[in-house]
């Protein structure tokens, strides 16, 4: 293929892949790869702590936060969050805005009491529910939401003020895609495989004050407090994934940090949404305009036959990953950080040309 619009795992920067390739067999001239040296070695620790520090700098995190590397994908966080924070006598509030937030809510229900605070179901998850009027109460352990619903292609462009109730957010599909003020959040998590590196590591950012309330009764391997105490070296970390995340973070710095990346992502998204909006109904963007994602552009063609032809031709032309999620059945262009403006331009030109020949 020539262009990678996959939703997850998504494209990685070419420069980063080249760098990793160059030292794959001999990390820092050691004659062994990063996967073959001890995670307790100075050489590995330097990569590990540098990656944590880069996350701090790129997000502008204060010392109130701890940065963790965890295993088990973002999905494990659907259970770990309630195991750690949903204490006896409290309820956890969930915002349901699509498949992933639904899963998070469902999993938490197996662990404790949950409350549905807002749902986007009525609009077919084409819109973020109103987050400004969540029915909060003093017995809430936390509020959980997803900043970007990867499948529906909707994104939060502002976040609610939850006051004393800790705000937990799954940023798997838009972390480091735009500048975000971390201070409203008590817990942020993200699987790496969209904007940060290969699958295998999940980034978690936790407010230190929350760590003290975590019960001793949960298994150590599932406790954020234990991971924080061991600086994410409690057991063998996913070393190669963390090494790749380190390289990607340095690449983000070179792109002008989240400011630079964010501006470029906006241009990429505008380019594609403009094609949909100016197609006279030939294409239809799925998300409501106010909630459109700058990471996952979801759309369909005006009839299924045309849509199938479009998918076939896209594949033939080397555009990878445009078929939407198996549950959704539409088209989706995932334009994560590593997807270039030029690649988005190639896709928009292709869509315009396809309409001309089939309209």
Query: What are the residues binding ligand PLP (CB under 6 A)?
Result: 8, 73-75, 100, 146, 150, 170, 172-173, 191
Q: Is 193 annotated as a binding residue?
A: yes
CB of 5 to ligand PLP, least distance (A): 14
Cβ-Cβ contacts under 8 Å for 297 (sequence gap 6 or more): 153, 269, 272, 273, 276, 285, 332, 333, 334, 335
* Catalytic residue ranges: 100, 170, 194
Closest distance to ligand PLP from the beta carbon of 98 (Å): 8
The Cα–Cα gap between 290 and 214 comes to 37
Rounded Cα distance, 67 and 73, in Å? 16
Do the annotations mark residue 181 as ligand-binding? no
Q: Which of 64, 10, 65 is nearest to 203 (CA)?
A: 65
Instruction: Find the shortest distance in angstroms from Cβ 93 to ligand PLP.
Output: 18
Residue with tokens 């957010």: 169
146 vs 297, beta carbon nearer ligand PLP: 146
Of 74 and 81, which has the nearer Cβ to ligand PLP?
74
The reply to whether 123 sits in an annotated binding site is no
Q: Does the annotation place 77 within a ligand binding site?
A: no
Query: Does residue 199 contact residue 209 with C-beta atoms inside 8 Å?
Result: no
> Smallest distance from the beta carbon of 75 to ligand PLP, in angstroms?
3
The H or E element that residue 354 is part of is helix 341-358
- Continuous segment of H or E residues that includes residue 266: helix 257-277
* 100 annotated ligand binder: yes
CB 283 within 8 A of CB 321: no
Backbone angles phi, psi at 29, to 5 degrees: 70, 20
Task: State the Cα–Cα distance between residues 287 and 126, nearest whole angstrom.
Answer: 4
The span from the CA of 69 to the CA of 53, in Å, is 12
Q: Can you tell me the distance from the alpha carbon of 116 to that of 254, in angstroms, rounded to the nearest whole number?
A: 41
Q: How far is the CB of 191 from ligand PLP (least distance, A)?
A: 3
> 75: annotated binding-site residue?
yes
Sole residue written with tokens 């795992």: 9
Q: Within 10 A of 289 (CB to CB), how many other CB atoms are there?
A: 9
CA–CA separation, 177 and 249 (whole Å): 12
Q: Residue with CB nearest ligand PLP?
A: 73
Q: Which residues have C-beta within 8 Å of that of residue 304, sequence separation ≥ 6?
A: none
Nearer to ligand PLP, 170 or 307 (CB): 170
- C-beta of 7 vs 239, nearer to ligand PLP: 7
| CB-CB contact of 7 with 325 (8 Å) | yes
Nearer to ligand PLP, 114 or 195 (CB): 195
Give 33 or 75: the residue with its C-beta nearer to ligand PLP. Answer: 75
Least separation in angstroms between residue 150's CB and ligand PLP is: 3
Q: Closest separation between CB of residue 249 and ligand PLP, Å?
A: 18
The C-alpha atoms of residue 185 and residue 187 are separated, in whole angstroms, by 6
Residue (70 or 310) nearer to ligand PLP, CB: 70
Q: From CA 94, how far away is CA 131, in angstroms rounded? A: 11
Does 84 carry a binding-site annotation? no
Is 114 annotated in a binding site? The answer is: no
Q: Which residues are annotated as a binding site for pyridoxal 5'-phosphate?
A: 74-75, 100, 150, 170, 193, 235-236
Q: Which residues are annotated as a binding site for L-glutamate?
A: 40
Q: Which residues are annotated as a binding site?
A: 40, 74-75, 100, 150, 170, 193, 235-236
């Amino acid at each position: 293929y020539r262009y990678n619009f996959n939703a997850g795992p998504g494209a990685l920067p070419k420069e980063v892949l080249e760098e990793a390739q160059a030292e794959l067999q001999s990390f820092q001239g050691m004659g062994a790869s990063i996967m073959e040296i001890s995670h307790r070695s100075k050489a590995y620790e330097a990569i590990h702590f540098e990656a944590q520090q880069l996350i701090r700098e790129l997000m502008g995190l204060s010392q109130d936060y701890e940065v963790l590397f965890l295993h088990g994908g973002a999905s494990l966080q659907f259970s770990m969050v309630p195991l750690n924070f949903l204490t006896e006598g409290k309820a956890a509030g969930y915002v349901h805005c699509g498949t992933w937030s639904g899963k998070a809510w469902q999993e938490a229900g197996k662990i404790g009491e949950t409350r549905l605070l807002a749902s986007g179901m009525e609009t077919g998850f084409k819109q973020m529910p109103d987050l400004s009027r969540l029915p909060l109460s003093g017995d809430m352990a936390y509020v959980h939401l997803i900043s970007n619903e990867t499948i529906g292609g909707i994104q939060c462009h502002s976040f609610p003020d939850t006051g004393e109730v800790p705000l937990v957010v799954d940023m798997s599909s838009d972390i480091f895609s735009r500048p975000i003020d971390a201070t409203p959040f008590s817990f942020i998590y993200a699987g790496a495989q969209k904007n940060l590196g290969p699958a295998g590591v999940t980034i978690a950012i936790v407010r230190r004050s929350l760590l003290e309330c975590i019960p001793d009764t949960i298994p150590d391997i599932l406790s954020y407090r234990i991971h924080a105490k061991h600086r994410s070296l409690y057991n063998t970390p996913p070393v190669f994934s963390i090494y790749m995340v380190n390289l990607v973070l340095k690449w983000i710095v070179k792109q002008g940090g989240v400011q630079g990346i964010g501006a470029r992502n906006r241009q990429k998204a505008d380019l594609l949404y403009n094609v949909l909006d100016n197609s006279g109904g030939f294409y239809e963007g799925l998300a409501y305009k106010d909630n459109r994602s700058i990471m996952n552009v979801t759309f369909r063609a005006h009839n299924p036959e045309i849509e199938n032809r479009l998918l076939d031709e896209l594949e033939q032309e080397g555009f990878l990953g445009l078929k939407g999620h198996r549950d959704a059945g539409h088209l989706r262009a995932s334009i994560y950080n590593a997807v270039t403006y030029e690649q988005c331009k190639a896709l928009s030109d292709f869509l315009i040309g396809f309409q001309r020949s089939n309209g």
